[in-house]
């Protein structure tokens, strides 16, 4: 608000603003934990060895379609040893022939142990491969099938050609009598029958005896390898199955979600008073003295007249104060109220859904201190919401006596708003003294709020909320603004935490070297709506160029219909304190 002339003592005055309108402010999910990998899906390739039939003299008479197939867990390309590789095929088939009988002999010696070993391998193989080998899987053509065998169960760990000769002779005789018989099922893997089809190939030319002899040595080595692999696999499978059933792999604890709410904090502020209800006006005095200290074209009505003319009313969730919108009047009837309570610190939060706007209007929500012995601005003034005409940017301003300089504060570093300009655009109005050099009389130090903090823009989105923290102990006055859809939750919950609100749009330092806290004392809350006056008159042509052909006061007098947006609608006004109580 601006200072009245020196001879006016009827009350505090509002500021005389620059002829130019104040500049506007620039404006895991966690991935699922992979289940433990099946113990035999990727650990070892499956190897199939099928033996060929031989005569009593060691030469092959018939041959089983045996192919060694190495397959990865991903059903990748298969590598198959075919009949064209004569030397390799002979070695492999001879090894399989010679491996069969020693194994049976070993089983005959220890039938119970052999049966248990084979059964254990079958069980663990079936359990491990249950998911991979579904019984409904299609059967591949004979030449494409893989023939997987279980590890041979045997108690022997070494062999020699001398030990194997008698066995091989018995085997040759047996094979001549049963040339079309396949290997016994227990020597196979124990997998489903549709996965174990064996193909038979036509007989080939006799193989030299020397190759048969070499084949026997290879067979011995192969038996040792197969038995060793079988024992390792059986132990590994059994151990894995046991560990899986006995102690399932624990699922790691989920990572903290980025949406996890922060732990609750207790506000250092305690609510002192919530004003908006049916008794709002019992806490305020109506100003009905004339003339207006700010030289406006207004007639402030007393309490009874304001209620009878419908310019003021209060309910449990809304307070309304406005101007006459019906009559032609040289002095437009309106309302100004001042709180009975005085304040020396506190957090003041106000939510509104409508602020007066329109050509000729000059609304303000502000605080000031004064009494008979301390004339304004001895105890200072703080304008929270203030603007004229159709402005969509509010200004927050301090008015003091000499000795309150805020020029060291920098926009973007200390606050998010901008300085209002002084008498020149290059000279910010950063000195709060009402008589500061380079500024308009009673201009004070003013900072612009965000775009949309008043006017049609503010009203069109449902309003917003302002918060003012006046803390002389910590040495500052700072202000925030939020649109109605962005108000912090802690305010809605009645537990405000200014430290969580980020950088304020307005900040003033209270310190002995720049602006002693004693400049602001015993201040009261004020709502008013005046017209033209010290701020509205010099800015009328710029603010309302469509009506610039007439003076501001003439427009206001003869256009009551233009005042339809000239009213306050207050939804909440709450005061919080740290330690001090209301005086």
Over the range 174-195, which residues count as b (16 or more CB within 10 Å of their CB) and which as e? ebeeeeeeebeebbbbbbeeeb
What letter does residue 273 receive in the DSSP assignment?
E
Q: Hey, which residues does 289 pair with through a beta bridge?
A: none
**Which secondary structure element, helix H or strand E, spans residue 383, and what is its range?**
strand 381-386
Q: Write the CB contacts of 181 (distance below 8 Å, at least 6 apart in sequence).
A: 175
CA distance 196 to 149: 9
Residues known to be catalytic: 381, 386
CB atoms within 10 A of CB 218: 17
What letter does residue 515 receive in the DSSP assignment?
B
Angle at the Cα of 500 (from 510 to 470), degrees rounded to 5? 25
Angle at the Cα of 392 (from 363 to 569), degrees rounded to 5? 45
CA distance 243 to 245: 6
CB atoms within 10 A of CB 136: 6
CA distance 166 to 348: 107
Q: What phi and psi, each to the nearest 5 degrees, are found at residue 282?
A: -75, -15
Q: What share of the chain is helix, strand, coil (3-state, %, to 5)?
A: 25, 20, 50
Q: Classify the phi-psi angles of 132: left when phi > 0, otherwise alpha if psi is within -120 to 50, otherwise beta.
A: alpha
Are 536 and 360 spatial neighbours (Cβ–Cβ below 8 Å)?
yes
Query: Which of 370, 398, 399, 293 shows the shortest CA–CA distance to 524?
Result: 370
**Which secondary structure element, helix H or strand E, spans residue 557, and what is its range?**
helix 552-558
Query: Which of 446, 469, 448, 449 shows the shortest CA–CA distance to 399?
Result: 446
Helix (H, G, I), strand (E, B) or coil at 169: helix
Judged on CB neighbours under 10 Å (0-12, 13-18, 19+), 236 is: middle
Helix (H, G, I), strand (E, B) or coil at 397: strand
Helix (H, G, I), strand (E, B) or coil at 63: strand
Q: In degrees to the nearest 10, what's the CA dihedral of 63, 64, 65, 69?
A: -120
CA distance 53 to 62: 5
Rg value, the chain, Cα: 48
Q: Residue with structure tokens 């500061």? A: 436
């Amino acid at each position: 608000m601006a200072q009245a002339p020196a001879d006016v003592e009827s009350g505090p005055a509002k500021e005389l603003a620059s002829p130019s309108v104040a500049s506007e402010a620039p404006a895991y999910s966690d991935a699922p934990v992979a289940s433990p990998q099946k113990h035999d899906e990727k650990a070892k390739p499956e190897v199939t060895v099928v033996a060929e039939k031989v005569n009593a003299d060691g030469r092959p008479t018939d041959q089983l379609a045996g192919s060694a197939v190495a397959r990865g867990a991903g059903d990748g390309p298969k590598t198959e040893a075919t009949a064209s590789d004569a030397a390799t095929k002979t070695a492999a088939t001879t090894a399989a022939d010679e491996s069969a009988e020693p194994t049976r002999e070993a089983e005959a010696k220890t039938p119970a142990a052999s049966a248990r070993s084979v059964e254990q391998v079958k069980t663990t193989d079936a359990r491990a491969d249950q998911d991979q080998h579904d019984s409904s899987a299609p059967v591949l053509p004979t030449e494409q099938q893989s023939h997987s065998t279980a590890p041979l169960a045997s108690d022997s760990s070494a062999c020699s050609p001398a030990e194997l000769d008698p066995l091989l002779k018995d085997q040759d005789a047996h094979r001549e009598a049963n040339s079309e018989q396949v290997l016994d099922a227990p020597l196979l893997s124990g997998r489903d029958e549709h996965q174990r089809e064996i193909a038979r190939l036509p007989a080939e030319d006799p193989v030299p005896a020397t190759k048969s002899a070499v084949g026997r040595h290879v067979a011995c080595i192969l038996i040792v390898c197969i038995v060793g692999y079988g024992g390792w696999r059986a132990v590994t499978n059994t151990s894995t199955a046991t560990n899986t059933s006995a102690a399932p792999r624990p699922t790691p604890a989920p990572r903290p979600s980025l949406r996890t709410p922060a732990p609750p904090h207790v506000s250092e502020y305690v609510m002192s008073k919530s004003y908006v209800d049916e008794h709002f006006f019992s806490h305020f005095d109506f100003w009905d003295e004339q003339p207006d200290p700010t030289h406006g074209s207004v007639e402030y009505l007393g309490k009874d007249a304001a209620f009878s003319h419908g310019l003021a009313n209060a309910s449990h969730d809304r307070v309304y104060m406005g101007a006459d919108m019906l009559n032609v009047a040289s002095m437009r009837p309106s309302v100004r109220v001042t709180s009975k309570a005085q304040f020396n610190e506190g957090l003041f939060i106000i939510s509104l859904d409508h602020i007066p706007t329109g050509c000729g209007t000059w609304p303000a929500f502000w605080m000031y201190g004064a009494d008979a012995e301390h004339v304004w601005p001895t105890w200072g003034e703080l304008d929270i919401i203030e603007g004229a005409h159709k402005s969509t940017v509010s200004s927050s301003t301090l008015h003091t006596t000499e000795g309150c300089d805020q020029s060291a504060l920098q926009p973007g570093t200390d606050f998010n708003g901008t300085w209002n300009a002084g008498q020149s655009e290059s000279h910010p109005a950063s000195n709060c003294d009402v008589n500061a050099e380079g500024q308009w009389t009673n201009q004070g130090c003013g900072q612009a709020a965000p775009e949309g903090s008043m006017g049609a823009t503010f009203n069109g989105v449902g309003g917003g909320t302002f918060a003012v923290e006046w803390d002389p102990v910590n040495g500052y006055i700072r202000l925030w603004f939020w649109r109605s859809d962005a108000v912090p939750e802690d305010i809605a919950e009645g537990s405000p935490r200014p430290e969580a609100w980020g950088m304020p749009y307005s900040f003033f330092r209270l310190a002995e070297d720049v602006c002693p806290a004693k400049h602001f004392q015993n201040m009261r809350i004020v709502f008013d709506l005046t017209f033209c006056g010290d701020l509205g008159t010099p800015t009328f042509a710029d603010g309302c160029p469509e009506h610039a052909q007439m003076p501001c006061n003439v427009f206001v007098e003869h256009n009551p219909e233009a005042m339809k947006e000239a009213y306050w609608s207050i939804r909440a006004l709450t005061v919080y304190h740290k330690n001090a109580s209301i005086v």
